[in-house]
């Protein structure tokens, strides 16, 4: 078999196997696994379907991570309502891989997989998505998740939004570490700007020395001031 595998049209083989039913596909699993390294859509899809039928979510996850050439959204839609939690998590993962942040977070919130939701919000790099999740955690009284989101998505959260949500929901203690760090970073930025705008005492002294040196050498207003003779002598010496 290994001798003829390189000569086969693997997509066509999958089509022929399908035409004879799932049993033939199951019998061909060793062959499909061997040729999956080619990352062919038909092969990946066939194996993913078999893993789904067997409720083998670990093999399905490995297949998805290793071989991405298949209709990922179609698979996500087919398993987002699966009775097993792990398959619904895979659906949320597929939506996240395809930048469908809202769908991914919605699934994670429904299953109370809040860490998955936080990771997705962080990966989105979108302040609106993060702050929407913050509001959700407030509505669910999930204080620890609210704090974890502030920590994980620090750069994406507007301080005024964090302060308002913390104040309105009694989460001031959970918001305070975020606010302290925000103020610290703001102070550091202001100091950096001031350092660029306002010269230091050393720089001022250096400029004064340069100015004094220029005047001592007879420079005035950028023009060289020359005397008529050496050592204060009068008009040019006659011969």
Neighbouring residues of 237: CB distance < 8 A, sequence distance ≥ 6: 229
Q: Identify the burial level of 17 via C-beta atoms within 10 angstroms of its C-beta, where 0-12 means exposed, 13-18 middle and 19 or more buried.
A: buried
- Tabulate helix, strand, coil % of the chain (nearest 5): 75, 0, 25
- Tokens 């005035």, residue located: 220
Structure pTM? 0.77
pLDDT at 21: 84
Q: Strand runs (DSSP E) across the chain, as ranges?
A: 219-220, 223-224
Residue 195 CA to residue 15 CA, distance in Å, equals 69
pLDDT tens track of the chain, all 239 residues? 666 777 788 899 999 988 888 888 899 999 999 999 999 999 999 999 999 999 999 999 999 999 999 999 999 999 999 999 999 999 999 999 999 999 999 999 999 999 999 999 999 999 999 999 999 999 999 999 999 999 999 999 999 999 999 999 999 999 999 999 999 988 888 888 887 887 666 766 777 777 776 665 554 444 444 444 444 444 444 44
* Angle at alpha carbon of residue 159, lines to 185 and 195, rounded to 5°: 25
Closest CA to 177 of 143, 212, 228, 128: 143
Instruction: Please report where in the chains the tokens 């202001």 appear, as a residue.
Output: 190
């Amino acid at each position: 078999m290994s001798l003829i595998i390189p000569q086969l049209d693997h997509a066509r083989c999958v089509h022929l196997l399908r035409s004879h039913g799932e049993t033939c596909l199951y019998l061909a699993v060793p062959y499909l696994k061997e040729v999956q390294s080619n990352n062919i859509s038909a092969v990946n899809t066939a194996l993913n379907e078999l893993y789904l039928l067997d409720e083998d979510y670990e093999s399905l996850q490995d297949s998805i991570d290793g071989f991405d050439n298949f209709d990922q959204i179609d698979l996500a839609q087919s398993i987002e309502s699966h009775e097993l939690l792990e398959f619904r998590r895979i659906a949320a993962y597929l939506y996240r891989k395809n930048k469908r942040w809202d769908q991914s977070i919605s699934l994670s919130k429904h299953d109370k997989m809040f860490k998955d939701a936080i990771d997705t919000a962080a990966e989105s790099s979108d302040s609106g998505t993060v702050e929407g999740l913050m509001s959700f955690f407030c509505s669910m009284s999930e204080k620890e998740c609210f704090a974890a989101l502030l920590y994980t998505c620090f750069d994406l959260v507007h301080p005024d939004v964090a302060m308002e949500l913390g104040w309105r929901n009694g989460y001031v203690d959970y918001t305070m570490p975020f606010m302290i760090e925000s103020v610290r970073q703001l102070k550091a930025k202001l100091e950096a700007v001031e350092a660029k705008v306002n010269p230091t005492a050393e720089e001022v002294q250096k400029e004064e020395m340069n100015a004094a040196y220029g005047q001592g050498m007879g420079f005035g207003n950028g023009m060289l001031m020359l005397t008529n003779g050496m050592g204060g002598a009068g008009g040019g010496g006659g011969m």
